[in-house]
Amino acid sequence: MSDIEHTYRDIVNLIKDVEHIDSTEKFLQVCVERISNKNLKTNEKLETIASSINMIKEFIIAESRYSRIHMNEINKLLSKVKITQDING
């Protein structure tokens, strides 16, 4: 893979990470807005809080899986670098 291809791939990955952070921020903001709605009655407020907590729980689980996948990819890349260094070293 050429340097240009590596650079392009790095830029694409960076953009994906930024988009991921932005979507995470938007998701959490929506949860806060739903819970903060002052027009809801007590029952509706409790249902909103419960559903928001459930969404946040699901989000945390998905985020953990996402992080684990990225960590595995990083570890694979680092092991390839180590092998290359051992061969050239």
Query: Considering the chain, what is the average pLDDT of its residues?
Result: 78
What amino acid occupies position 48? T
Q: In whole angstroms, what is the distance from residue 49 CA to residue 44 CA?
A: 9
User: In this predicted structure, what is the pLDDT of residue 30?
Assistant: 81
pLDDT at 4 over 80: no
pLDDT beyond 70 at 88: no
pLDDT at residue 69 tops 70: yes
Whole-model pTM?
0.53
- Per residue in 24-62, pLDDT (tens digit) is 778 788 878 877 878 878 888 888 888 888 888 888 888
